[in-house]
Amino acid sequence: MSEEAVTTLRGELDRFGRAEEGFALLEVFLEVARPRLGPVVLDPIGLQLPDGMTDDRAVVQELIEELEQQPRGAARVPERGFDMDDEQARWDYVRLAYSSSQATVWSRRQRTTYFEASGPHKATYWLPDSLKADYFEALSSRGWSIPPDWLTAVAKRPKPWWKRGGG
């Protein structure tokens, strides 16, 4: 069985007019993709507010301070999961994803990545065609404009498993 084609979309905050636009796009994505999502996690160490964040700056700074107060496990790489069925957890994750050194949204079935952010300056969506169609429909129905380069991005079929990896 052939895997669905996947479109790669750049999602850095600095490509939007306001950071809150990038947050809104991620929030809609998490709502639409929720039935397909696996782990939604981020590294809670060294969280820093994105420079362009305006509206919720004080609230998110308070959230960061609360996370920093929580005890850390003995795990080599700290990871904090978020429950996407909880509306407040989704809101928190959206704002913290771009504050974290690493935030990832995994798929449920194939353990592939749907979204990954490394702070405010590097973020990428990898969307299978069916999810991309649902996501774009949801954005349009909510009145959000889809970035023009997202509309023209070309989906690519994943390499077969035996061709993936090193080279």
Question: Has residue 97 been placed in a domain?
Answer: yes
pTM of the model: 0.86
Number of domains in the chain: 1
* Within a domain: 130: yes
Tens-digit pLDDT profile for residues 54-75: 778 888 899 998 888 877 666 5
Tens-digit pLDDT profile for residues 72-105: 666 556 788 999 999 999 999 999 999 999 999 9
How much is the pLDDT for 1? 41
Query: Quick check: is 136 in a domain?
Result: yes
User: Using one digit for the tens of pLDDT, what is the confidence trace for 122-165?
Assistant: 999 999 999 999 999 999 999 988 999 999 999 998 666 555 55
pLDDT bin (cut points 50, 70, 90) of residue 111 is: confident
Q: What is the domain extent for residue 133? A: 6-163
Q: How far apart are CA 142 and CA 40, in angstroms?
A: 24
Residue of 134, 113, 135, 126 lying closest to 155 (CA atoms): 126
70 vs 39: CA distance, rounded Å: 20
Percent of residues, the chain, with pLDDT higher than 70: 89
Comparing CA positions, the residue from 107, 96, 114, 4 lying closest to residue 57 is 96
Structural domain includes residue 1: no
Residue with tokens 């362009």: 52
Joined tokens for residue 36:
């397909």
